[in-house]
Amino acid sequence: MSDAVKELEALIDLAKEPSSEKRRSLLRGITDSFVQNGQELSVEQSHSYAEIMKQLSADMESEIRGELAHKLAPLGYSPHSIIQALAQDEIEVARPILEQSPVLTEDDLAEICEAHSQEHLRAVTKRTTVSSRLSGIIVSRGDDQTVHSLLENDRVELNTETMARIAVRARKAKLLQDPLIERKDISKDVLVGLYSSVAKELKEKILHAYKEFDAENVEPAIDQLADNLSQAKAYSIEDQIEDLHRAGRLTESQLVKFVEERKLMEFLAAFAKMMDIDIATTQLVMDDQTGKSLVVVCKSKSLSPAAFKSIAMSAFTSITSEPSELLPLVNIYRRFDVENAERVMRFWSTRSAMDAQKGPELPSEKSAGQDPAADDPSEAKQTVVA
């Protein structure tokens, strides 16, 4: 019997002790034993360590779980199951795992990025490598501070689409402008597109980065780039959506399929077509963090609650993907009246100077006149939206 196994059996005997202090000592002992001997263990023995550490740490305060995470994070032989659990814990526990652990797979990280907090996303941006797939998810869900953290990591992979989406945000988000312009992998087209929207000092940085530009020839380059991009997108995406529409296949299920397949441009074009709004308004609806605009637009076309939830939870919107926070919005959607939604849409169409980002006022749980626990949301009293 190896020394590691003997030590494990001795530690297991401590588990019979009822005191929490003894159990903390047990967890520390098992963790230290694993750190020292983990590379020598069989798969079965490593699994035994993992199960014991998981069960003990689940009852411990976050400080103890954080101590466990710090010890296991750098190890390439840490058990996958406990690393997964710690990575989805509160951020003070999860941070070292998300930043360092080589055990987490890309699928693990993608799942976390799609479902957890901004602080979890920021921790992922600190990793030694971040794939273009993960970068795309982070940019879709991340706030400006998170995207800023992503841009500051020069080991992050950013594909053309993700870089262009950051550039669009950077036109208004000054926090993103400097780190975007200073990236070595930024393309000429992205710089040209950003030039007209930034302050004078950043214009000088762009001109310095591409010395063949000057203040006289960069403006025509911007116009040409915009024209080329609009023509290319119109041909490749809008024609596809129009073909689906003519064939009667531009349906709710197709819209959800674009969400599930993470096809951003196809989704935006399809949503705009189905909702009878333009692309610019569609993007504003997706950027509304309250979700109120999305409620009105989807309800006006009688999308099912399931389809609404799929869109609201997707990486294409700025709405929270935390289920507990999204549930009230889904409840409002179920109770919101189609006629009211249609009236708001007509109001939007007649206000040429409307502030589309603000969105309409919707009934709250209280103003909807129904207990949130009620079984039949159709009984809710509808509130007229002004």
pLDDT tens for the chain, residues 1 to 386: 455 555 556 555 555 555 567 777 778 888 888 888 888 888 888 888 888 888 777 777 888 889 989 999 999 989 898 999 999 999 999 999 999 999 999 999 999 999 899 999 999 999 999 999 999 999 888 899 999 999 999 999 998 888 878 887 777 777 888 888 788 887 766 666 666 555 555 566 666 655 555 555 555 555 554 455 445 444 467 788 888 999 999 999 999 999 888 787 889 889 999 999 988 788 888 888 889 999 999 999 999 999 999 999 887 887 866 667 788 899 999 999 999 999 988 887 766 344 544 444 444 444 443 333 333 323 333 332 33
For residue 16, the model assigns a pLDDT of: 52
**Considering the entire predicted model, what is its pTM?**
0.55
Residue 98 is which amino acid?
Answer: L
Start-to-end C-alpha separation, the chain = 77
Q: Which of 52, 84, 104 is the last residue of a domain?
A: 104
> Residue 325: which of 309, 345, 305 has the closest Cα?
309
Q: What is the dihedral of CA 292, 295, 301, 304, to 10 degrees?
A: 170
R_g of the chain computed on alpha carbons = 26
Task: Confirm whether 127 is domain-assigned.
Answer: no
Task: Confirm whether 133 is domain-assigned.
Answer: no
Task: Confirm whether 89 is domain-assigned.
Answer: yes
Residues contacting residue 82 through CB under 8 Å, at least 6 positions apart: 50, 53, 54, 57, 72
Token output for 136: 């795309």
Q: Which of 47, 81, 104 is the last residue of a domain?
A: 104
For residue 51, the model assigns a pLDDT of: 83
Task: Confirm whether 384 is domain-assigned.
Answer: no
Q: Which of 80, 104, 128 is the last residue of a domain?
A: 104
For residue 48, the model assigns a pLDDT of: 82
383: left (phi > 0), else alpha (psi -120 to 50), else beta? beta
> Residue 33: which of 244, 25, 173 has the closest Cα?
25
Distances (CA, A) of 103 to 37, 70, 151, 315, 338: 17, 14, 24, 25, 49
- Kindly report the three-state secondary structure assignment for every residue of the chain: CCHHHHHHHHHHHHCCCCCHHHHHHHHHHHHHHHHHHHHHCCHHHHHHHHHHHHHHHHCCCHHHHHHHHHHHCCCCCCCHHHHHHHHCCCHHHHHHHHHHCCCCCHHHHHHHHHHCCHHHHHHHCCCCCECHHHHHHHHHHCCHHHHHHHHCCCCECCCHHHHHHHHHHHCCCHHHHHHHHCCCCCCHHHHHHHHCCCCHHHHHHHHHHCCCCCCCCHHHHHHHHHHHHHHHHHHHHHHHHHHHHHCCCCCHHHHHHHHHCCCHHHHHHHHHHHHCCCHHHHHHHHHCCCCHHHHHHHHHCCCCHHHHHHHHHCCCCCCCCCHHHHHHHHHHHHHCCHHHHHHHHHHHHHCCCCCCCCCCCCCCCCCCCCCCCCCCHHHCCCCCCC
Q: Determine the Cα–Cα distance for residues 85 and 74; give it in Å rounded to an integer.
A: 16
Q: Can you give the residue range of the structural domain that contains 43?
A: 1-104
Task: Confirm whether 149 is domain-assigned.
Answer: no
> Residue 270: which of 249, 255, 284 has the closest Cα?
255
Task: Confirm whether 125 is domain-assigned.
Answer: no
Q: What is the number of domains present in the chain?
A: 2
User: Is 137:114 a contact under the CB 8 Å cutoff?
Assistant: yes
Q: Determine the Cα–Cα distance for residues 147 and 189; give it in Å rounded to an integer.
A: 20
Task: Confirm whether 88 is domain-assigned.
Answer: yes
Residues contacting residue 140 through CB under 8 Å, at least 6 positions apart: 165, 264, 315, 316
Task: Confirm whether 202 is domain-assigned.
Answer: no
For residue 301, the model assigns a pLDDT of: 94
Residue 302 CB-density burial (10 A; 0-12 exposed, 13-18 middle, 19+ buried): exposed
